[in-house]
A and B are shown apart, each in its own frame.
Chain A
Amino acid sequence: MGVKQDDGSIMPTSEQEKISDELDIRVKKFLRGEKTNLEGLQDKKLKGQLAVREELFGKSAQAAAKAEKWLLPSEGGYLEAEGIEKTWRIKQESIAREIDILSARSQYDIVLPDLGPYTLDFTSSGRYMAAGGRKGHLAILDMKNMSLVKEIQVRETVRDVVFLHNELFFAAAQKKYPYIYNRDGTELHCLKEHGAVLRLQFLKNHFLLASINKSGQLRYQDVTMGGMVANYRTGLGRTDVMQVNPYNGVVALGHSLGTVSMWKPTSSTALLKRLCHKGPITAMAFHPNGHLMATAGKEKKIMLWDLRNLKDEPLQTLPGNADTLDFSQKGLLARSTSSFVQILTDSSGTQNYNNYMTHKIIKGYQVEKVLFRPYEDVLGIGHSMGWSSILIPGSGEPNFDSWVANPFETSKQRREKEVHSLLDKLPPETIMLNPTKIGTVKPQRRKEKKTKEEKEADMEAAVEAVKGIEPKKKTKGRNKPSKRTKKKQEIVANAKRPFLEQQKKEEEQVARKKQKVIEQVELPTSLQRFSRKKSAT
């Protein structure tokens, strides 16, 4: 596929165009939006400055696009069907025959029948995997060497496992409380406040551990300082569908009434609630770019939603059940029910997903979780008899950025990165639906009540406006100065009246409220002895 060319050869024009088109697309991506429209600007200086800026932005984007085009070492793979072949017919075995040994190593099944079903989690670099068996088996594996780092048996139900900021720590939602362990399996913390947690999520940039427990309480805990950042009752019942939007850090919960609610730690109400399915929601996943959400309902439907452009209707509705969903880095969507795994892709790039690959594991195995491994074309499947790993060509990002996540990280680099990420830790209030709004002008607040000064100013303005009116010349008897002044005063009083009335009304309201409170508090003396004394809280 790659265009190869010798130094001496001259590129045909069509090729050149192709390349420039490709570059244009990339430049667009790096420009992060269109150029500022400077037409309407009055300020010439600003105009000049912005023009210069835009030019610089353009150059930067150009350079970035070029670097991306020519300097990235590898390209993503994909399956290509020939003739009547279908990509979803291609089995793992046939893939295994075609690939190199190193890649072939990532096709395997681990059979652990006793402590099943397993849930999985990868570190952001994809190097390490945590596996949590329902019956208390916790294991950390190094996926590069295929070696077990540590495994422990907590002898408790384990509902979820999640890595914290790096492979050194991981949290496990156990029977009563979530726990934090280190890599050696030492229990570091028992997070009793969280209660019996069903699902855990870690917000990497904010260092927050989010959990939803059996009673539908959503909690955020800061893992750096240890403080509980937020604790909200969702009020929508028990759920074990929780997913973090990697783009903005908003936590989404899927509920039994088919709604998805999105939360942030600084707001006690859901930012957004949307009715997605008619049945209870079984699974949910976010596209890495944060603009696409996939939900699966019990009514055998998988829906894709656009998060930027909110609409009642989904972008796409796919048939089928899904117990678990996951988006890969490149945007492939994996869904799984019982022992069947399907991978969907939007080959056209128009967010129109269709079947890409399928995989079946041995009948009777119940898939608990599917999870794409970052920076690898690998899908991890946690099921009741252990876990397996299959190859999904084109799922992972082929080029890693060592500043973001380095699969070949040394311990020194890890330490360095830990410090850096701690320094770059974002405060919880930066979580919002549209984080690009940060730094913009504050949205106008709806004014519920005017302040006293404003009210007075309004009144004064009204009075001034009235005062300016020249009174009519009346007939002889009525044009006396005394009458004129009287008239003037009357006008002013009329202008003032509505304001004063409003003020009075408000005062009355306040007084009434107060009265009510007093009434509630004070019982008649004869009845007071029956009232139970409230303990001061």
Chain B
Amino acid sequence: MAETKRKSRGEAKGRRGKPSKKQKKGTDTRERKGPRLPNALRKELERLNPVDEGFGSDEDQEEVYGRDLYEYEEELPEEESKKNRRYDPVENLEYQMPEEFEDENVSSDDDNDTRNAGEDGVEDEDEEDDDGRQRTTRITSEAFEGKKKKKNNVVISEAYPESEYNPTRDMLEGEGPVSIGDLLDPLHGVSGYSKLRKRIHHLEKKSVPTPAPLPKADQEKLERKAAYEKSKEELQKWEPIIKRNREAPTIYFDDDMDLGFSTVGAIASEFEPRTEFEKKIASLVYDDQVMEAHQKDGSRLLELNKVSAEDEKDRHNRMAKMRSLLFRHEMKSKHIKKIKSKTYHRLLKKDRLKASSTQSQMDPEAAKELAMKQEYERAKERMTLRHKGSSKWTKRIKERGIDVQDEGTRTAIAEQQHLHALLTRKMNSMKDGSSSSSDDSSDEDDVDVYSAGSDQARASKLLEKAKEKTLNLLDEDDEVPNSGVLSLPFMVRGFKKRNEAAAEEAKLALQEYESWSNQLEDSNGTDNAKLAPPSGRMVFNASKKEAPESSNKTKSDNKIRSDNYYGNSDSEDDFEPKENVDIREDRSSDLQNNGGINPVLLNKESKNHKDSLFKNFDDIVQDPGPKTTHDVSIFASGTWKKMKGGNNADANVNKPTRPLESVVLNQNLQEPVKDLDEDSDADSEGQMVDGVLTSDPKVESSYELPSQAEIIRQAFAADDVEDDFEKEKQEVLNEENPEPEKPVLLPGWGQWTHVQKKKGLPSWMLQEHESAKRMREETLKKRKDAHLKRVIISEKLDKKAEKLYTKSLPYPFTSKEVYEHSIRMPLGPEFNPATAVGALNRPEVMKKPGVIIKPIEFEEVNPYERIEEQTQSGKKQKKRNKSKSNSGKNGTKVKTKLKN
């Protein structure tokens, strides 16, 4: 069927070749028709079929001849090719427009199709082609007759009139393909046309009708199959390599022996300085002088290495200082840790508080934090009312009456109340914590000027206070102690010096303050009245002053200390402990100072409360401070002394013991010597005994003639030996497999009358006995010595020796014999010649540490080649591997070439 179809199409094309030539002319005049017959022919035809309209004739013919007549259809003239369109006259009209752009459309369609063809497969291409062409070009007629026929076998009546919304089947399915010939026609006359035609002709001769595409599943299956084949092929080429590797008893991975750096020196030589620091170091290290010195004998190195005595001394001093600092710090912390005094800790806490408050002044972050904390505290207090006086203790005291109490309790209660008041008081503003509170206090106390809170005023206030403080400091007389270390002349001198320096600094500071305050005054002159130097105790705004003052203080302290340290380092070592004490005293004075300041703080805080109370409190607080410190200092020194004393004592004790010990040792030494001597004496005595080779009279009577009875026994020994042995064997067997008991009938048991006696034993009993006997015999037959009369082989299993056997066959083995045979040969160097030991015990993989195992590389391997290298020594193997690696490189080269 396909054949005929093809033929028909071919014929159609052959015929069409001529008309198409004239088409070019024809298209201008009669656009609606496709390829035409020559005019003469047409006239003839017209004469024969006197029909005016092409369409009408079409209809007639259709009716007359029917569609099934294939041959006749072939003969149809071109004009009537549209006969099947009798149902859709509208469509033709519709597609008039595209016809005009015939060439363009064709080409574009073609492009599309070819593009599609790549994706859809060869089979689809033609159909698509045809569809498109038929729709666009109006060539139709004979070219597609065959297909047309087929499609139009079924006439489907349309339910709706045809329109662009309801296209006909023709529209949807297309009508036969456009042949290549159709496309070629316009190319006629162009150079290379004949060539092209020939080729196409050639192609068409060969071409086979394209079958319908396979279902998708099948297609995919086939594709997968092909892909599998391909991948299999790809993988199979690796097989010999893999096989070789698997079969090789040992795989070597030491062909690439370049491990990069082998030594630290090599790594170091590669080093290049990059950073600034490294460069600096390098420039120093590779300094010409140094290098030269290295290259020579190195004696110059010594010169270069020289360090001046001063430097060394400096270094030494620094070290000493650091050490002593550290030590002191350690001692201090130790001793502080040990202090149990509540007051001390309270003071410490206050100190800390103060420090934090100063910090908060300096640092906005800290200030914020503090504010938050305070807020929290306040909230808490308002919630719990802890300090309101609702506690048991305060209640009791209140009951008793505050006046009756001693001063300590009174202060405590006052403080509590104060705290409560502080915490629960409504705040004006919570912008910044502590400063605001201080502001509040200042607001309360001071004049309205300050309430404005202008910065300038505050600054001036600060300055003023600082001034006061410095003045105070200047006024203060440092009491020079009359006794102790500090009374020593050089210490006194040092003290004075320090004082002078401090005074100078204070003066400078004062000057500065004045200059600043002047400036401030200039800026707002109205306020200067208030900035008059204050008198009496400074009570107000102490907190404001704190920061500079304390910082000053710490500075001075530090200075003093550092001075001291330098002094220490300069002075000789003997003084150290004393100086320690000295420093401690300094510290105690610090503490005192602190103690002095604390009340000030307190005062400031509780200005609105009774002054007397605080004075008392001050006293209380102030007293224990120095005391404790004093104690501590004593304690510290005491320990020192103690330690020293202890050491001395130890040394003293040690000294006398030593000789004693030595004496003892000597004694010990002497004793063994003596012992040895004695021993040797004894030995020599023994030897002496040895030397005496007299025979003992007792031993002599060892030889006796065998008695008559014994001789007789020996003579007849053979008679019963075998029987004895057999009996013994039986015994052994019975021991291992006891003989079953003979069934016995118990009289009166299991019998009603005398009936059973006649019957004998019950059959089951006999059966049981029989089976037991059989069992025993079987087991006895299984014994190794079953067929040996004169041999008893113990069947006992040795439990201790069980660990020498394997419980089960090791993995790859499946048969016991093979396994046991495979371990028959010893592998150790004691049993094998040196040439074989290595091969026998070579591990599966030979690899040097640090060697990177590279992925396998493809190489040609003859799969039928016998593996020879099994027992080859490492050298040969290596050689082979080298060649392998070379070949591998070649392979990569080729690959790259291919890629390029």
Contacts and interface: CB of A to CB of B under 8 A. Distances in A.
Q: Do A and B come from one complex?
A: yes
Interface of A: 31-34, 36-38, 40-43, 45-46, 48-50, 52-53, 55-57, 59-60, 63-64, 67, 114-115, 134-137, 151-153, 155-157, 185, 256-259, 264, 266-267, 269-280, 298-299, 310-312, 403, 428-430, 432, 436-443, 445-446
A266 B797 CA distance: 10
A60 B794 contact: no
Residue in B725, B785, B791, B805 with the greatest tally of chain A CB atoms within 10 Å: B791
Contacts of B690: 151-153, 185
B822 A53 contact: yes
A274 B790 contact: yes
The 4 closest A-B pairs by CB, nearest first: A278-B718, A60-B836, A442-B805, A275-B790
Contacts of A59: 836, 839, 871
Residue in A115, A441, A446 with the greatest tally of chain B CB atoms within 10 Å: A441
A40 B819 CA distance: 13
Given A257-B725, A258-B721, A114 B695 contact: yes
Interface string B813-847: 11111111111111000101101110110000000
B897 interface: no
A156 B699 contact: yes
B812 interface: yes
A118 to B, nearest CB: 14
Contacts of B724: 257
20 contacts: A46-B812, A57-B825, A63-B833, A64-B833, A135-B699, A135-B702, A157-B699, A266-B798, A266-B801, A273-B791, A277-B721, A279-B714, A279-B721, A312-B790, A429-B803, A430-B801, A437-B805, A439-B806, A440-B816, A443-B805
Contacts of A311: 788
A438 B824 CA distance: 10
Nearest to B793: A272
Contacts of B840: 56-57, 60
Given A440-B820, A442-B802, A157 B796 contact: no
A426 to B, nearest CB: 10
Nearest to A63: B833
Contact of A441 (B717, B798, B820, B837): B820
A279 B718 contact: yes
Given A41-B818, A64-B833, A310-B785, A153 B693 contact: yes
A56 B836 contact: yes
Residue in B692, B717, B728 with the greatest tally of chain A CB atoms within 10 Å: B717
B833 A60 contact: yes
A186 B352 CA distance: 84
Nearest to A313: B790
Given A49-B812, A299-B717, A439-B804, 14 more contacts: A34-B821, A50-B822, A55-B870, A56-B870, A115-B695, A153-B690, A257-B717, A257-B724, A267-B796, A267-B798, A271-B794, A273-B791, A279-B718, A440-B816
B154 interface: no
A59 B825 CA distance: 12
B425 interface: no
Nearest to B830: A403
Contacts of B797: 443, 445
B789 interface: yes
Contacts of A60: 825, 832-833, 836-837, 839-840
Interface string B245-272: 0110100000000000000000000000
Interface string B767-804: 00000000000010000110011111111111011111
A443 B795 CA distance: 11
A310 B793 contact: yes
In this complex, the interface size class of chain B, counting residues with CB under 8 Å from chain A, is: 35 or more
B339 interface: no
Contacts of B825: 31-32, 57, 60
Given A269-B794, A270-B794, A298-B717, A46 B725 contact: no
B813 A279 contact: no
Interface string B691-715: 0110110011010000000000010
Contacts of A436: 824
B818 A37 contact: yes
Contacts of B721: 257-258, 275, 277-279
Contact of B722 (A64, A115, A273, A278): A278
B689 interface: yes
Contacts of A403: 830
A45 B825 CA distance: 20
B275 interface: no
Nearest to B823: A439
Instruction: Give the secondary structure class of A's interface.
Output: loop
Nearest to A444: B797
B275 to A, nearest CB: 57
A386 to B, nearest CB: 13
A244 to B, nearest CB: 18
Residue in B700, B725, B804 with the greatest tally of chain A CB atoms within 10 Å: B804
A440 B823 contact: yes
Given A152-B690, A278-B717, A441 B819 contact: yes
B792 A40 contact: no
A418 B232 CA distance: 63
A55 B249 CA distance: 12
A153 B690 CA distance: 5
Nearest to A154: B690
A134 B809 CA distance: 54
B306 interface: no
A37 B696 CA distance: 67
B815 to A, nearest CB: 7
Contacts of A432: 798, 801
Given A266-B800, A272-B793, A52 B699 contact: no
Contacts of A32: 824-826
A56 B724 CA distance: 53
A441 B808 contact: yes
A349 B249 CA distance: 40
B143 to A, nearest CB: 67
B804 A438 contact: yes
A277 B718 CA distance: 8
A49 B696 CA distance: 70
B813 A46 contact: yes
B608 to A, nearest CB: 92
B807 interface: yes
A258 B717 contact: yes
A365 B796 CA distance: 46
A198 to B, nearest CB: 13
Contacts of A156: 696, 699
A440 B832 contact: no
Contacts of B692: 153
A125 B667 CA distance: 47
Nearest to B836: A60
A65 B793 CA distance: 37
A437 B784 CA distance: 16
Contacts of A41: 814-815, 818
A441 B807 CA distance: 6
A280 B711 CA distance: 12
B812 A52 contact: no
A278 B714 CA distance: 10
B788 A114 contact: no
A273 B730 CA distance: 13
Contact of B791 (A267, A310, A428): A310
Contacts of B836: 56, 59-60, 63-64
A271 B724 CA distance: 19
Contacts of A442: 802, 805-807
B113 to A, nearest CB: 57
A217 to B, nearest CB: 19
B791 A312 contact: yes
A31 B836 CA distance: 13
B839 to A, nearest CB: 5
Contacts of A445: 797
Contacts of A440: 805-806, 816, 819-820, 823
A52 B830 CA distance: 21
